Structure 1
Amino acid sequence: MSPALAGIPLRDWRAQGKSLKFKGHTIAYWTAGQGEPLLLIHGFPTASWDWHFLWNTLAEHYQVIACDMLGFGDSAKPRGHDYRLLEQADIHQALLAHLNIDAPVHVLAHDYGDSVAQELVARHHEGRARLASCVFLNGGLFPETHRPVLVQKLLLSPLGPLIGRLFSRKKLAASFAQVFGPHTQPSEQELDDFWSLIARNNGPAVMHRLIHYIPERREQRDRWLAAMQKGGLPLRVIDGAVDPISGAHMVARYRELIPEPDTVLLDGIGHYPQTEAPCHVLQHYQAFRAALSKAAVA
């Protein structure tokens, strides 16, 4: 955490939430500020509160928009649902339509949200979405570099339903201890809040269904990679380097595969840079946007 960026307490965040219906399911969402639309897409297994350190500052410059995706946070978590990344992209497009936003949208994504953002990038190039830029934080952009933690492997196994039901705050703390940076570990209060969002609406009961994003990434890999290689849409990666899941090794692969790669590595930072080093993420995001604005004027 940084004293320069005051976070939003979870209770206050929840009080600011609104909701819409998507195919009969309640989706919690948040919006603030004015200007160009900026869509923030959270990761697994948390929720859009992940952005709370950045939210107010970003809202001074842009219209910020975020939702808890289906199966996450304060949104519905239907038990028998076949959760798909492609449907989560549909939900974000439905949210933009609900807000009457038809301008090109900037995207800032993390983890699971990176995959949803990759789908939106592909749809942009297919003429089914309108993006202005996309910035990825730590996430499995390439299946070949993704190194899931033990609980993710177990959730994918035949034991998945049982592992989900047994998932607890204690197990969350153990998993996060592995993936956060050594000097940027979450506080007990943060762990309580993360767990509150996961546990809401009996969330652990659907974790084994949500985890199927991992094979879905493999199915979409070539299509998403081709879209990212196409050019014409500004992209940047801001990555916590010591993340064992998708840290420096993922960025090395990104630099191999993406033409003219724009990447930033944050030394000593793990899988959640937006909560571990929000000032650095904000600095590098705003520099990216400033360069876009300068290029547009030139």
Structure 2
Amino acid sequence: MDLFTKVTTILVALIAIVYAIFSHYPVPPVSPIMYQWKTWGSFLTHKKFNIFYIDKQINNGTKTLVCLHGFPTSSFDYFKAYPYLIKSFDRIIFIDFLGMGYSDKPTGHSYSIMEQADIVQAVLNHIKVDAFHLLAHDYGDTVTQELLARIKEDGLQLPIKSVSLMNGGIFPAIHSPLLIQRLLHLPVIGFFLGKLNNKYTFAINLNRVFGSGTSPTMAEFYDFWAIVRQNHGYRVFGEILSYLDERYEHEDRWVSATKNTKIPLQFIYGPADPVNPAPFEEMYHKLIPNQYFDKLDDNIGHYPHFEAPEEVVKRLNQFLKKKGF
């Protein structure tokens, strides 16, 4: 047996052992706040899949906010912003995308931004939402871009009153996915890496996108992981990451829709974001000069609504006030 064969055999054996350990790792316990979040929710069956959403009516008014989350987490990302949001809105809706959060996470599925936009429309139609404001983050930004394109190019009648985006790769040319995202996106390597994911590797990789001094506590990382671990969500990371290719494929459609939308648009930006580095601000002002760009403190990273929830809601309210809402 030559050296290469020996090394390969050892590597395969190690992978098999590690996989055997992690594939049988118990599901993390549910924290009280996670339990409350899930009890608030309901499920809508969309094309045989169960989609989790929360529809919270806070007051009797009609000021409604729809929140869309990023990859690889869930609507639970907004739990720190929620206490501030309820002071400004009468109804708040959170949606977990297919493959994430408490929604179904089918394997071997062709995940797409188009399908996620269909899901958002289906949930809003199901719960009968009239005019609403939209707050989105990361992956949710791209879904929002598709919705804007449907309004602009396809004549979709969707009563969005304003759009606020946060730290999403809306400009593919300068978007910089983490190494782990690129590896997970690879056909074979990504398949095995996805199956080997665990709460420690998840926390290490997710921590890289937070700013200085704004990282979640280990308990909060475990909450994030516990939701990812639901229905083995970590196993479909690579399949969901097809959105990286979609961003390039539909770049003209989505950037044009963002640039030319008649809907008031705001971008809330955490500058300490390795996924959307400094050139992002310059490109935004160049391509979308007449819209609002709110840059947060230098230490805020990729999850502004988690890292600086009070400030994000403050900027959102200031924007809506300027636009007469």
Q: Do they superpose with TM above 0.5?
A: yes
What is the CA–CA distance in structure 2 between the aligned matches of 1:62 and 1:276, rounded to whole Å? 24
Q: CA deviation at 1:14?
A: 1.2
Residue in 2 that maps onto 1:55: 82
* TM-score normalized with structure 1 length: 0.92
Residue in 2 that maps onto 1:20: 44
What is the CA–CA distance in structure 2 between the aligned matches of 1:57 and 1:269, rounded to whole Å? 18
Residue in 2 that maps onto 1:107: 134
Residue in 2 that maps onto 1:76: 104
Matched-pair contact (CA < 8 Å) for 1:242–1:270? yes
Helix, strand or coil at the partner of 1:9: helix
Residue in 1 that maps onto 2:190: 160
Matched-pair contact (CA < 8 Å) for 2:34–2:223? yes
Residue in 2 that maps onto 1:262: 292
What is the CA–CA distance in structure 2 between the aligned matches of 1:196 and 1:202, rounded to whole Å? 10
Question: What amino acid does structure 2 have at the position aligned with 1:122?
Answer: A
Q: Deviations over 1:114-136 (max 9, x none)?
A: 00011111112232133211111
Unaligned stretches of 5+ residues in structure 1: 1-7
Matched-pair contact (CA < 8 Å) for 1:248–1:265? no
* TM-score normalized with structure 2 length: 0.85
Residue in 2 that maps onto 1:287: 318
Q: Deviations over 1:137-156 (max 9, x none)?
A: 01101111111111101011
- Runs of 4+ in structure 1 off by over 4 angstroms are none
Q: CA deviation at 1:247?
A: 4.0
What is the CA–CA distance in structure 1 between the aligned matches of 2:104 and 2:261, rounded to whole Å? 36
Matches within 5 A, 1:1-298: 9-32=33-56, 33=58, 34-60=61-87, 61-101=89-129, 103-125=130-152, 126-128=154-156, 129-158=158-187, 159-266=189-296, 267-293=298-324
What is the CA–CA distance in structure 1 between the aligned matches of 2:311 and 2:64, rounded to whole Å? 21
Number of residue pairs the alignment of both structures matches: 286
Matched-pair contact (CA < 8 Å) for 2:84–2:310? no
Unaligned stretches of 5+ residues in structure 2: 1-31
What is the CA–CA distance in structure 2 between the aligned matches of 1:271 and 1:57, rounded to whole Å? 20
Q: Which structure has the larger Rg?
A: 2
Q: Deviations over 1:215-246 (max 9, x none)?
A: 01111110111112214210011011111101
Give the 3 Å change call, closer, same or farther, for CA 16–215 of structure 1 in structure 2: same
Give the 3 Å change call, closer, same or farther, for CA 98–255 of structure 1 in structure 2: same
Q: Deviations over 1:147-198 (max 9, x none)?
A: 1111101011131111111111111111122110111111011100000011
Calculate the aligned-residue CA RMSD, in Å.
1.4
Matched-pair contact (CA < 8 Å) for 1:138–1:247? no
Helix, strand or coil at the partner of 2:44: strand
